[in-house]
Amino acid sequence: MTTMLGWRSLFRTTLGVLAIGCGDGAGAIDTGLPDSTPIAELTDAQAVQACIAFERWERDEASNLGSRRELCTVFAVAFTEDATSCEAAVQGCLDAEPSEPEPEDETPEEECADETAPEVEASCDVTVGEFEACANARVDATQRALSELDCSYAGDDDALDELEDRYEPEICRDIERRCPGLDGDDLT
């Protein structure tokens, strides 16, 4: 499984959609599962359903995370070590013709066919609704962070960590405190 829910994975998702384009904002992530279902009680079939929802979101909505300039900046910050080379990479990205997205090798259903229920402590009381709320809050936070990200962050992992901490949604921090074994890969 390549889809992840965590903060840094949303930045990686933006790298994956650079060639696709940009939009007016990504739609909400909704697994279609009852919000009150505890993550610890999910069945394998429900885990597959959640995985498919996240896969579809990534394929259909992730390209709307930011403007072309913002997505080019993410790419440049990730692959350069200083502001000067970052600015050149941003300009090169903006000057390049957007290409058509590569066709997916597998459908979301095929990608998620072997997904199993997450293995979390029985004491983990996080619900599907809270997990979805965290995912959606992280999408919003990523959009806000993208608007702040510039080439001054190139090569500065400490500054990127600070940016991540500044925009980390409280609901996600709460989930991590209540269920430290729950990881973004558990439902995606």
**Domain contains 27:** no
**CA–CA distance, 11 with 142 (Å, rounded to integer):** 7
**CA–CA distance, 90 with 73 (Å, rounded to integer):** 6
Tell me what the mean pLDDT of segment 145-161 comes to: 93
pLDDT exceeds 80 at position 185: no
| Contact predicate 7/138, CB 8 Å | yes
Q: What percent of the chain has pLDDT over 90?
A: 51
In this structure, of 28-37, 56-65, 136-145, the range with the lowest mean pLDDT score is 56-65
Instruction: Count CB atoms within 10 A of the CB of residue 147.
Output: 12
- Domain assignment of residue 156, given as a range: 7-19+35-97+107-186
Tell me what the mean pLDDT of segment 10-36 comes to: 61
**Domain contains 147:** yes
pLDDT of residue 78: 92
pLDDT of residue 84: 97
**CA–CA distance, 147 with 61 (Å, rounded to integer):** 18
**Domain contains 25:** no
**Domain contains 2:** no
**Domain contains 102:** no
**CA–CA distance, 106 with 3 (Å, rounded to integer):** 13
pLDDT exceeds 60 at position 150: yes
Name the band, by pLDDT with cuts 50, 70 and 90, for residue 28: confident
What is the pTM for the complete model shown? Answer: 0.77
50-71 tens-digit pLDDT = 999 999 988 887 767 788 899 8
pLDDT of residue 102: 75
**Domain contains 87:** yes
**Domain contains 26:** no
pLDDT exceeds 90 at position 43: yes
Total domains in the fold of the chain: 1
Task: List the structure tokens of 28.
Answer: 């909400």
Instruction: Count CB atoms within 10 A of the CB of residue 182.
Output: 22
pLDDT of residue 91: 96
